[in-house]
Chain A
Amino acid sequence: AQTVTQSQPEMSVQEAETVTLSCTYDTSESDYYLFWYKQPPSRQMILVIRQEAYKQQNATENRFSVNFQKAAKSFSLKISDSQLGDAAMYFCAYRSAPSGGGADGLTFGKGTHLIIQP
């Protein structure tokens, strides 16, 4: 079974600065998908960014980018120009690709609570 590890229970960053959230995963599969989800106090799960393992290029969505290191099984999230609205719980998640015959559901890490200091 796949596991996802987020080693930082909490991170704090000054507004307008850059912060990187760590995520590592363990899998024997070669094809899979990785996600970062944001869960603000409203508890809504919001997709931040997605990466397909077969793509070498790191995904980017505006101020959010990832550093995907497939060999190291690492998938960190960088948030540039942090804003107060970025404050939330961030979950890293893994999903097997259909071709691998693995689980259909997402496997989440324990989350990192991101605090933005004004």
Chain B
Amino acid sequence: AAGVIQSPRHLIKEKRETATLKCYPIPRHDTVYWYQQGPGQDPQFLISFYEKMQSDKGSIPDRFSAQQFSDYHSELNMSSLELGDSALYFCASRQQGYYGYTFGSGTRLTVV
């Protein structure tokens, strides 16, 4: 079965640089979520989209933005990167009306 695809798997950036993470949800899943998991921490909800509209916002810094496109894939744009942004970034998707969230394998971002 198709899963949630995230790219890239690993990313190394320098401070103050910009990064773009991509997420391709499972076919027919119309809702996408982004989570940030710092080292040894629990995942923190950043933002979600339903039908290309932002549906909820969590602890996402102002330096980050995201959007969902017409094919339902989503991108998380991170600017002015800081060392503290180093984390595992998960994308999850689900179909509205169902509560089975499927997570991708994550993108490990390292800011140096």
Contacts and interface: CB of A to CB of B under 8 A. Distances in A.
Interface of A: 33, 35, 37, 42-47, 50, 52, 91, 95, 103-111
Given A47-B100, A91-B43, A109-B42, A104 B48 contact: yes
A45 B90 contact: yes
Contacts of B46: 105
A44 to B, nearest CB: 5
A47 B101 contact: yes
Interface in B73-98: 88, 90, 92
Contact of B106 (A43, A46, A91, A104): A43
Contact of A106 (B45, B88, B105): B45
Lowest 4 CB-CB distances: which A-B pairs, in order?
A105-B45, A104-B56, A45-B103, A108-B42
Contacts of A37: 103
A106 B43 contact: yes
A50 B99 contact: yes
Contact of A103 (B31, B58, B103, B105): B58
A44 B9 CA distance: 12
A61 to B, nearest CB: 12
B33 interface: yes
Q: Choose among B44, B58, B103, B106 the residue with the greatest number of A CB atoms under 10 Å from its CB.
A: B103
